[in-house]
């Protein structure tokens, strides 16, 4: 069996989503990439999480050709692959229909950076894509979902850095999250759901809330990220 460590990491990321209550039945999937070979390990389609074994994960190349595995890959494979191609710094992708993040996606609203919990993980609002057109949905829908995400990150004068904003809401659908590793992607998905829940309460309690000030956003984000970070322990 190839890429056993990657398979285990992807399995663990899938199970973490279940443990944290982000997954209903089989709605969700995690994947990871080995950048050296360009192979991606992803959850098989429709297999209950409690039965998943490392060997059940499907290995594909970046074009979606199955390299190893007897089961069909997740139906969201083409979105994952496009994100790996467009964002070379990421190593794991997670998709869930977690309740609060999905509510924002369905409302077509980005999640504003209302406080420091958000700022610790997301440097600015969690963006929402444009709605897919009828042609995009009727055509290669799963690939077009990825294209909508990539377009959203490239839009405007200041393109978003996918590592500074490691999540997106697909309008009318649900979130996709990512990270440097599959574990990191799952962690970001769990935090996104908590942030989305808090943001829902915040906007309900104070509809006029405009969010955290730039200096507080900077203070919190850069405390945990970048060259000057001071959070946690030095790595030897
Ligand atoms: Zn979905």
Per-residue model confidence as pLDDT tens digits over 63-80: 999 999 999 999 999 999
The CA 232 to ligand 1 mean position distance, Å, reads 34
Taking the mean position of all CA atoms in its chain, how far away is CA 234? 27
* SS3 of residue 229 by DSSP: coil
Distance (Å, rounded) from C-alpha 154 to C-alpha 47? Answer: 35
Q: Which two tokens stand for residue 115?
A: 């406080």
198, 32, 179, 110 alpha-carbon torsion, rounded to 10°: -50
Catalytic residue among 120, 141, 184, 221: 120
120 is catalytic: yes
User: What CATH code would you report for 3-224?
Assistant: 3.40.225.10
235 band by pLDDT with thresholds 50, 70 and 90: low
Check pLDDT > 70 for residue 167. Answer: yes
C-alpha 33/C-alpha 62 separation (Å) is 9
In the reported structure, the alpha carbon of residue 75 is separated from the centroid of ligand 1 by a whole-number distance in angstroms of 9
**CA-based Rg of the chain, rounded to a whole angstrom?**
17
User: Is 231 a known active-site residue?
Assistant: yes
Angle between helices 182-205 and 99-107 (to 10 degrees): 60
Q: What is the pLDDT of residues 27-46, one digit of tens each?
A: 899 999 999 999 999 999 98
Distance (angstroms) between ligand 1 centre and the Cα of 28 equals 7
CB 143 within 8 A of CB 86: no
Q: Residue ranges per domain, the chain?
A: 3-224
Q: Which residues surround ligand 1, an ion (CB under 5 A)?
A: 174
pLDDT at 166 over 80: yes
Only one residue has tokens 């994100």, namely: 83
Distance, CA of 233 to CA of 236 (rounded, Å): 9
């Amino acid at each position: 069996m190839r890429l056993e460590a990657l398979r285990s990491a992807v399995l663990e990321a899938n199970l973490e989503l279940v443990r944290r209550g982000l997954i209903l039945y089989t709605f969700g999937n995690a994947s990871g990439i080995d950048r050296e070979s360009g192979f991606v390990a992803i959850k098989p389609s429709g297999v209950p999480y409690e039965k998943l074994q490392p060997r059940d994960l499907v290995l594909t190349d970046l074009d979606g050709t199955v390299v190893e595995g007897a089961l069909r890959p997740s139906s969201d494979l083409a979105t994952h692959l496009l994100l790996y191609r467009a964002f070379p710094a990421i190593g794991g992708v997670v998709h869930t229909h977690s309740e609060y993040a999905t509510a924002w996606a369905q409302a077509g609203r980005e999640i504003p950076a209302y406080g420091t919990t958000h700022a610790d993980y997301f440097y600015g609002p969690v963006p929402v894509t444009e709605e897919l057109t009828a042609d995009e949905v009727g055509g290669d829908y799963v690939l077009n979902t990825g294209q909508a995400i990539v377009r959203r990150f490239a839009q405007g004068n200041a393109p978003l850095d996918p590592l500074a904003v490691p999540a997106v809401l697909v309008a009318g659908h649900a979130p996709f999250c990512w990270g440097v590793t599959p574990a990191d992607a799952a962690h970001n998905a769990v935090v996104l759901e908590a942030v989305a829940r808090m943001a829902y309460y915040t906007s309900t309690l104070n509809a006029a809330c405009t969010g955290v000030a730039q200096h507080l956003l900077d203070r919190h984000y850069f405390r945990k990220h970048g060259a000057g970070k001071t959070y946690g322990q030095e790595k030897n």
